[in-house]
Structure 1
Amino acid sequence: MKFANAQEVISYLYSLPHLHPKNDLSFIKKVLAELGNPQDKVKTIHITGTNGKGSTSYYLSNLLKKAGQKTGLFVSPYVYRFNERIQLNNQDISDDDLVKAANIVQAACDRLEKFSLVTFEYEVAIAFVYFAQKKCDYAVIEVGIGGEHDKTNVITPEVSVITTIGLDHEKIIGPTIQDIAREKSGIIKNHRSVVLGNVPQNVLLILLEKAKAENASVYQLGKDFDVSVAKEINYDDPNHSLTFKLRPKVEAFDIAVAFKAFSLLKLNLSTAEIEQAINQTTIPGRYQILQKKPLIILDGAHNIQAMTNLLNVVHAIAKQKQGHVYALVTMMKDKDLEQVFDLFDKQDQVLLTTLSYPRVAKENDFPIDVQRRYNYEGNYQTGFTELKKKLNDNDILLVTGSFYLVSAILNWKGKK
C-alpha cells in the first residue's frame, strides 16, 4: 500500500484500531527496529502528567528553538488540523512530508508480514521518522496516556518531566491515583534527570522511589526551583531569577517546569531571550482568548483537576468584573461527568452540547442530575450563538470540557 496524499494518510490512521489486546510496547518497538530505530537518532525530552503536559511541551520547544536548536514537537490532540501533532521549529509537518514519512512506516509494516499498528503507534512512528529525517537537535515528546506503557516510551530522553498527577483515564491506567503515579513514573530513566511539577504529596514518594531506583537526579517544584504569581510570574532557582507576563497560576507551574528542564540541557540563552521565548508562546486550545470584550475563553479542560484550575481563574475574573459566567460544555462520555459539573457555581449559566464524534456525550449520556440542572442544545454552533447573545460587556463565555469542542469552535470562528 502507498499513500498518495495527506487525507489518505489521516483517513487510514483513523481506520486503525485504538488498542492492542496486549498493552505493551512490542509492536511499536518491532516496527521502529525495522525502521532502523529513528527515535535513537535524535535527543529527546519526554513529558507526561495528568494536566499541563501539552503547555509544558510548547514552552519547552519554544525555548529550544530560541537557543538555535532544530526542534521537533510531538503533541496531542490537535486543535486546527492533524498536522499540528508533529511540528518542526513551530511549523506543522507539511502534507508532503507527512505522506513521505507515512509511506516509509507503511513499507516497514508491509515487510513485517501479518503486522499492524494501532492509530497512536503509527503516529509515533511517523513522528520519529520525520524528526530523524530532518536531523533535529532535540524533539519534545508528549506522552499520549500514562507513561510506562505509552507508545512514546521507547526513548532514553535527556530529561524526563512529570507535570502533575490527578485522576484521569482511570479505566486505562487507574483506578487509583497511586496506580496513575506508578504508570507515569515509567518515563523516569536510568541516570537521566527528572523534573517534577505540582505533584500531590500522597503520590510524591512513588515518583521519588522510582527515581532513586533508576539513579535519576530529581528537580522538584517548591524544593529545587519555585514560581509565584502576583502581578506577573516570578521564577527562582539557585542560578536564575526570571519574570514572565501574567498567565493563570496553573500555566505558571508549566512555565517553571519547562524552564527547569531546559536549564538542565546547558544551552545558552540570555535572561531577556528566555523571557521572550516564554512570553511569545501561544498554546492552541488552552486558555485561548477568542474575544476580549465581552471575554470569550476556550479551554480543553476535560478532567477534575484541569476544570478546577480553569474555573478558579474564570470565577476570579468574573468576580472582579462583577459579571456572570456562561459556559458551553460537552465532554467525552467516559469522563467523571458528575464530579466535573459539581465544580460550576450555582449562578453559572451552563449549556450542554454535543458533537458528531462517537466518544462525545449525547444528551442522555450526561448524569440525570446534570440533565435536570442545565439546558441542552444538540447543535454547538446554535448553542454558542445563543450564549453569546446573552453576554453583557462584563460577562464571560467559556467553551470547555473537550478539545474536540474547542477545535470545532476555533475552526468555525477563529483563525490561526
Structure 2
Amino acid sequence: MSINEAISFLDSLGQFRIKLSLDRINKLTNIFGNPQNFFKSIHVGGTNGKGSVCNFLSKILQYSGYKVGLYTSPHLMDIRERVKINDNLIGEKEFLSLLNIIKERFSNFKEDTPTYFEVLTCLAFLYFKNSGIDFGVIEVGLGGRFDATNVIIPEISIITSISHDHTEYLGKKIEEIAFEKGGIIKKGVPVCFGGKSPTAWKVIKKIANEKGCEAFWLYDKKISFKRIISGGKKGFQIKTLKDDYEVFPSVNGLFQGENIAISIMASEILRERGFNIRKDAILKGIENASIEGRMEILDGKPKIILDGAHNLDAIKKLLISLEEIGIPSFVLLYASMKDKDIENISKILFPKAEKIVLTKVEEIRGEEPENIVKRASLKRDFIIERNFGKALEKAISLSSTSFPLLVTGSLYLVGAFKRSYKR
C-alpha cells in the first residue's frame, strides 16, 4: 500500500462519517490489546483552543524530560501531522504498516466498519504503545462522550471552552453541549475547565461531583492572567495559587492567554500528582510551542494572516486579536463548511473586510460560495471564485500594506492555502 492508496482507503471510510458510538472503537482497540492503556495520557476537549492546549502541554512535557505522543486533528497538509512523537511526524513506513494491520482486521466488523477517525485513533494508540512513549496528549475529535478518543483513562481531563459548534450532534443549548463535552470526565480523574460560561461550568461541576473527581475552573478567581509587554515582546502574566509566571509565546493571538493559563493549571495539577514538571519546563514549553493555522502571520508583501476559526466564538477572538496588532480591516478570503453558523459569523466578520473573496475547499461538506452570499444577507459586493488557486490569486492581488490578507473560516481552507501558496 502506498501513501496515496492509504489515503484513498481512509477516504472510502468517509472522512466526515460520524456515528456516535464507542462500540466500534472499543472493539477495535480490544482486538489489539488496548494499546491506549500502555502509556499515561492527557485528554483535551472543548469547542475552541484544544489544539493549542495540546501543543503547549506536549512541549511542556518534552522539556520535563518525557517522551510525548501527540494526537490531533485535522491535518493541514499531510495526514501524518495527526500523529507525532516529540514533534516528529509518524514515519510513512510505520503509518502504512499499522494501517495495513488494522485493515486486515476489518473482517471482524462485517458491515459496521470503523470510521476514518476511529481507524486513525487506533493507529495512533498502536504507534504510541510500540514506540514506548511516556505520555500521550490526546485531542478529542468531536464532542467527547462518544468520541473515539474517549476509551482512554487519562491522568487529567481538560475542557478548554464551550460554545456553539456541531450543534446537530451536540445540541443547541450550552447545557447540552457541556454535557456532551463533559463525557470525557472519568471517575477519580481531575478535570480543568477553561471556558467563561457559568452555565457550562455548572454542568461540568455536576458531572465531576457524580464521578468523584476534583474540578478546577479557570474563572473562579483563583487564577488570573493578563497581557504584558516587555522589551517590545508581547506575553502574558499568569498568577496561580502556587506561583507567578511571565511567558512570551512565539504564537500570536490575545486569545492564547486563556489557553496558556489552562495549560499551566493542568501542569501544576500533574506535578501535584507526582509528575516531574518543573517551572522552567513550563516556561520553555509555552515559549517554544508552534501552532500552525492559528493566528499564523506570514510577513511580506502582502502580509497574510492564517486562522482556522470556524465558529462565532473563535471569529470574535480572532477579530479582537487582529485589532490588538493594528489590523482593523483586511481583504478576506473565506470558505466554510455547510454546518457552520455563517449567518452570525458574517454579521461580525464581513463588515470588517475591505474586499471579500469567497471560495470552496471541501467538496462534500463545503458550502457553495453562492449559498454563503445568501446566508450572509449583506448588501455588498462579493467576488466568487470556486477554483481555490484563482481565488487565492485574486485575494492576493487585492491585498496591500493597508489591507493585509486574512484567510479564515475553516482549517481546511488554511490547509488548501498551505498546499498552494508559494511566496
Give TM class, smaller chain: over 0.9
> Which of residues 226, 229, 236 in structure 2 aligns to 1:228?
226
Q: Does 1:126 align with 2:132?
A: no
Q: 2:304 pairs with 284, 296, 299, which one? A: 296
Deviation, structure 1 residue 76: 0.4
Is the 1:219–1:225 Cα contact (8 Å) retained in structure 2? no
How is 1:10-409 mapped onto 2 (pairs within 5 angstroms)?
10-17=7-14, 23-111=20-108, 116-223=113-220, 224-231=222-229, 232-245=235-248, 247-266=252-271, 267-292=275-300, 294-318=302-326, 324-344=329-349, 346-349=351-354, 350-355=356-361, 357-368=363-374, 369-370=376-377, 372-373=379-380, 374-409=382-417
Asked whether the equivalents of residues 293 and 394 of structure 1 are also in contact (C-alpha less than 8 Å), the reply is no
CA distance in 1, matches of 2:395, 2:108: 54
CA apart distance, 1:333: 1.3
Greater shift, 256-265 or 174-183, is seen at 256-265
* 1:112 to partner: Cα distance: 5.1
Q: Distance in 2 between matches of 1:297 and 1:278?
A: 21
Say whether the 8 Å CA contact 1:288–1:299 is kept in structure 2.
yes
Deviation string 1:70-121 (CA, Å, 9 cap, x unpaired) is 1111100111210001111111111111112112222333355555211111
Q: Describe the superposition over 1:315-357 as per-residue Cα deviations: whole angstroms up to 9, x where unpaired.
A: 34346xxx63111100001111111110126352222111252
Q: Structure 2 vs 1, CA of residues 333 and 210 (structure 1 numbering), >3 Å: closer, same or farther?
A: same
1:203, 1:324 → 2: CA distance?
33
Q: What is the distance in 2 between the residues matched to 1:43 and 1:298?
A: 33
> Structure 1 pair 21/91, CA: closer, same or farther in 2 (3 Å)?
closer
Could you tell me which amino acid in structure 2 is paired with residue 348 of structure 1?
A
Q: Judging changes above 3 Å, is the alpha-carbon distance between structure 1 residues 382 and 286 closer, same or farther for their aligned structure 2 residues?
A: same
Output the CA distance in 2 between the equivalents of 1:115 and 1:354. Answer: 31
Equivalent position amino acid for 2:346 in 1: F
Further displaced range: 262-271 or 161-170: 262-271
Residues 347 and 117 from structure 1, CA distance in 2 versus in 1: closer, same or farther, beyond 3 angstroms?
closer
Q: 1:148 to 1:230 in 2, by over 3 A?
A: same
More displaced 10-residue stretch of structure 1: 288-297 or 276-285? 288-297
- Corresponding residue SS for 2:348: coil
SS in 1 for 2:316: helix
1:222-254 C-alpha deviation (Å, 9 max, x unpaired)? 333222113220111122211112642211111
Say which is worse superposed, 262-271 or 252-261, in terms of deviation. 262-271
| Deviation at residue 137 of structure 1 after TM alignment | 0.5
Flag structure 1 segments of 5+ consecutive residues without an equivalent: none
Percent of pairs identical after alignment? 32
Deviates more, 1:219-228 or 1:96-105: 219-228
Secondary structure of 2:105's counterpart equals helix
Does the CA-based 8 Å contact 2:61-2:277 persist in structure 1?
no
Q: Which residue identity is paired with 1:357?
A: E
Q: Does the C-alpha gap of structure 1 residues 124 and 414 become closer, same or farther in structure 2, counting only changes over 3 Å?
A: farther
Q: State the AA in 2 paired with 1:250.
A: F
- Deviation at 1:189? 0.7
Normalised by the length of structure 1, the TM-score is 0.92
CA distance in 2, matches of 1:103, 1:115: 18
Partner Cα separation in structure 1 for residue 347 and residue 41 of structure 2: 39
Tell me if structure 2 keeps the 8 A contact 1:195–1:261. Answer: yes
Whole-Å Cα distance in 1 between the matches of residues 405 and 17 of structure 2? Answer: 40
| DSSP 3-state at the match of 1:398 | strand
> Aligned letter for 2:360?
T
CA contact (8 A) 2:385 2:391 kept: yes
CA distance change for structure 1 residues 75 and 21 in 2, over 3 Å: closer, same or farther?
A: closer
Q: Counterpart amino acid of 1:70?
A: K
Shift of 1:393: 2.3
User: How many residue pairs align between the two structures?
Assistant: 409
Question: What is the rounded CA distance, in whole Å, between the counterparts of 2:118 and 2:313 in structure 1?
Answer: 27
By how many angstroms is 1:22 displaced? 5.8
**What is the root-mean-square deviation of aligned Cα atoms in Å?**
2.1
If the length of structure 2 is used for normalisation, what is the TM-score? 0.91
- For residues 318 and 21 of structure 1, what CA distance do their matches in structure 2 show? 40
Q: Deviations over 1:172-230 (max 9, x none)?
A: 11122211110001011111111110231122100111111111111211333222113
- Distance in 2 separating the partners of 1:262 and 1:385: 44
| Gap change, CA 1:324 and 1:19, over 3 Å in 2 | closer
Is the contact between residue 333 and residue 365 of structure 1 (CA under 8 Å) also seen in structure 2? Answer: no
